[in-house]
Structure 1
Amino acid sequence: MIKDLQEAAAVLPEKNARLSTDKGRATKGSANAYLAKAYLYTEQWALAQTAAETVINSNQYSLGDFSTVWSVNNPNGVESIFELNYNANQTFGLGTALTVVMRSRADGGWGFDTPSSNLERAFGNDPRRQWTIIKQGDNVGAKTASFDYSNYDTKPQENESGRISRKMFLALADRPANELDHSPLNRIEMRLADLLLIHAEASNKLGQDGKALTSLNLVRARANNLNPGTVPARTSSGSQLLSDIWLERRLELAMEGHRYYDLVRQKRLVSVMQAFNASQLTSTDAYDKGKVKDQISDKNNLFPIPTTQIQLSGGNVTQNPGY
């Protein structure tokens, strides 16, 4: 993988040099960003830092308004390094189903992949919460004849947590006909905030806390712009700074598909999930109190290898422990 990314970074164009018809295709920036991520996962901190700085210093990307990062009207925005592009084409069945799958059942959705009250509490007064989680009663639009978007109903009785993800939420005016499998909302796989936090973590691991704080606080400053005074700059160092960076990843990238993989590489999956289940048992939340997740053990740091692949290997491949 690393060799492929290195070769791609050497020949791909920068984001601003590509043709308009090539939006959504891989760029030099996306190759280098994923190089930084690959180096982070393999704990090659200096290489991760260098690859991240190559992209950060390229002047190809910037931090826009957090509230519009996931807007359907902001495809391939200034922060986007790599995203999956969808076209709501009815004839050929193009688009994504996630905006329906993750929407409230009261609003024609399926109510899957719900944010927890534990995640909401982690935000505290952070204004990113309202652009990440839609709670029962939140105002996300105007009242219509058929549904009151100014007092949103997450249908808690048919929802795991009484909450849904706002990042995959389409306003009524932006929904195409026959929306299931035809939504035009792109899915961002890599963005500048993610890369800044990769850079912050690698820098901290190298003992360069000044660089780590600079990148971390760029992300926090953008969040603070939503409601000045609510997201102050961090001033920590050492292990506390690392904890702050990990928390920032949880908040900034919530509901974007990174959390499990972060916990695995941080070697915290079991301890964090055990703490989550314990907190659920004592929670007083009206909607998800007492709801725990499947018991997690060390085996869950790896996926099971398909039996057919083990058989095809002729004995050269063995099953991962615990399966």
Structure 2
Amino acid sequence: ENLSVVDDIDLAAQYEGEARFLRAHSLFNLVRLYGGVFVITETIDASDARNLERKSIEEAYEVIIEDLEYAYNNLPEAYGSSEVGRATKWAAGAELGKALLTEGSATSVARAETVLRDVATLSGKMLLDNYEDVFDFNNEYNDEILFAVRYQSGLLGLGSPFANLFSPLQSENAVIFGGGDELNVPTEGMEALYAANDARARTNFAVSWVDNSGNTNLERFVSKYNSTFSNVDDAPNDWVISRYADVILLLAEAINENNGGPNTEAIGYVDDVKLRAGQPVLTSSQTSTYFDFKLALEEERRKEFAFENHRWFDLLRTDRAVTVMNNHFVTDFQYNDPNETAFNTQPIQQFQTLLPIPQYEIDLNPSVAQNVGY
């Protein structure tokens, strides 16, 4: 609404592209979590807000895709060193490809393949040689990163809390400064998923830690966001939103969907990710059919993007959430420990793949419909 104050046409388009990229990113997360949500594309007053109704999922995706298409067509391909971290054309393309693939219509999936191939081949991004280097806080916004939430330590109010949130309880300063809250604990199933020589495992999480008395504690914890810092909740580590590995695995998925099975190109993208981790390439049994490849790709994404907040959305996109989670609850020891019955759980139902609308929102606006099942 205020872009007219910018005299430079190209700069105005960039600002609009950045704003629309961020709006689409937020709306994309919301619609995947809650289903139909409020879709706001212009300034409204409080009385209007209290009388809004939820839009459909389809209406939300119309705005998401339109915003991301605009951003993709109007954002710069890169910025100068002083502006690293702003959304680029390629960041918008990666998000657009994922949104199109998630929306799932035949037209959208075909468009997703085109966009993702352009990002993969034209962006200049690539897989780093070493997986751990992708997350090194001394190597942020490297050649694999398309977009990340930036953090900076030094008591500036810009530090990351995740190292403290994920490190073990009562670990004092033995793991990271200030100890941890022991949230997001890796399960036994996650530990068993990786081969012993998989380079990703020990970057993503540790299986033990040594306390200040020299005692070894056999506790798993997420270590992916750990670094050296001097104040609680003040780590310098960026949180990666999208990276090249995600783009090429999404492209492999799009190819599989569009062709009813994988081709050499799609298989090659997955093999590239596996080889970077020191793992053997896909076998013929993993690539012989559409569904075999889909399952192999699902497992590879789980290993590659552990604790990067992709897994749940991957399962929703492929309509595998209920099947996979219910199997997880039956087979993983954490949910069947006789000494920790509080963690026992019942199978989930399809309606639970969406969160309930918060009661606070319904209290503000009683016409807001609750999600079915809650």
TM range (shorter): 0.7 to 0.9
Q: Which residue of 1 is the match for residue 182 of structure 2?
A: 111
- The 3 A distance-change label for structure 1 pair 314 and 115 is closer
2:141 aligned partner, one-letter code: N
Determine if the alignment matches structure 1 residue 4 to structure 2 residue 67. Answer: yes
Tell me, in whole angstroms, the C-alpha distance in 1 between the residues paired with 2:275 and 2:190: 21
Alignment of 1:231-242 (within 5 A): 231-235=280-284, 236-237=287-288, 238-242=290-294
Q: Which residue of 2 is the match for residue 38 of structure 1?
A: 99
Structure 2 SS opposite 1:190: strand
Q: Once the two structures are superposed, what CA deviation does each residue of 1:252-308 show, in whole Å capped at 9, x if it has no partner?
A: 0011111111112222222212111211259999x9999545642222211212335
Tell me, in whole angstroms, the C-alpha distance in 2 between the residues paired with 1:211 and 1:252: 19
Q: Which residue of 1 is the match for residue 275 of structure 2?
A: 221
What is the TM-score of this pair, normalised by structure 1? 0.83
Structure 2 SS opposite 1:83: strand
Q: Which residue of 1 is the match for residue 330 of structure 2?
A: 278
Tell me, in whole angstroms, the C-alpha distance in 2 between the residues paired with 1:248 and 1:129: 12
Determine if the alignment matches structure 1 residue 209 to structure 2 residue 263. Answer: yes
Q: 1:59: how far off?
A: 4.2
Q: 1:127: how far off?
A: 3.0
Tell me, in whole angstroms, the C-alpha distance in 2 between the residues paired with 1:76 and 1:293: 40
CA contact (8 A) 2:205 2:223 kept: yes
Q: 2:309 aligns with which of 236, 257, 270?
A: 257
Q: Which residue of 1 is the match for residue 217 of structure 2?
A: 153
| Ranges in structure 2 where 5+ consecutive residues have no aligned partner | 1-63
Structure 2 SS opposite 1:127: coil
CA contact (8 A) 2:336 2:344 kept: no
Q: 1:82 aligns with which of 138, 147, 166?
A: 147
- The 3 A distance-change label for structure 1 pair 20 and 281 is closer
Q: Once the two structures are superposed, what CA deviation does each residue of 1:192-243 show, in whole Å capped at 9, x if it has no partner?
A: 111111001110111252221121111112112xxxxx43344413211111
Tell me, in whole angstroms, the C-alpha distance in 1 between the residues paired with 2:75 and 2:266: 28
CA contact (8 A) 1:197 1:249 kept: yes
Determine if the alignment matches structure 1 residue 178 to structure 2 residue 249. Answer: no
Structure 2 SS opposite 1:69: helix
CA contact (8 A) 2:203 2:223 kept: yes
CA contact (8 A) 2:144 2:243 kept: yes
Determine if the alignment matches structure 1 residue 120 to structure 2 residue 194. Answer: no
Tell me, in whole angstroms, the C-alpha distance in 2 between the residues paired with 1:54 and 1:147: 54
Deviates more, 1:74-83 or 1:295-304: 295-304
CA contact (8 A) 2:131 2:199 kept: no
- The 3 A distance-change label for structure 1 pair 122 and 306 is same
Tell me, in whole angstroms, the C-alpha distance in 2 between the residues paired with 1:76 and 1:307: 39
Tell me, in whole angstroms, the C-alpha distance in 2 between the residues paired with 1:116 and 1:281: 8
Question: Bigger radius of gyration, 1 or 2?
Answer: 2
| Ranges in structure 1 where 5+ consecutive residues have no aligned partner | 138-142, 155-161, 225-229
2:132 aligned partner, one-letter code: S
CA contact (8 A) 1:49 1:199 kept: yes
Tell me, in whole angstroms, the C-alpha distance in 2 between the residues paired with 1:117 and 1:289: 16
RMSD (Å) for aligned C-alpha atoms = 2.7
1:212 aligned partner, one-letter code: A
Q: 1:78: how far off?
A: 0.9
- The 3 A distance-change label for structure 1 pair 31 and 279 is same
Structure 1 SS opposite 2:325: helix
CA contact (8 A) 2:90 2:123 kept: no
1:164 aligned partner, one-letter code: F
Tell me, in whole angstroms, the C-alpha distance in 2 between the residues paired with 1:293 and 1:78: 42
Q: 1:153: how far off?
A: 3.4
CA contact (8 A) 1:217 1:234 kept: no
CA contact (8 A) 1:24 1:76 kept: yes
- The 3 A distance-change label for structure 1 pair 283 and 260 is closer
Tell me, in whole angstroms, the C-alpha distance in 1 between the residues paired with 2:247 and 2:298: 13
- The 3 A distance-change label for structure 1 pair 211 and 147 is farther
CA contact (8 A) 1:81 1:191 kept: yes
- Greater RCO between the two (CA within 8 Å, min separation 6)? 1
Tell me, in whole angstroms, the C-alpha distance in 2 between the residues paired with 1:152 and 1:197: 38
Q: 1:96 aligns with which of 160, 165, 168?
A: 160
Aligned length: 294
Tell me, in whole angstroms, the C-alpha distance in 1 between the residues paired with 2:132 and 2:213: 23
Tell me, in whole angstroms, the C-alpha distance in 1 between the residues paired with 2:336 and 2:316: 29
1:32 aligned partner, one-letter code: G
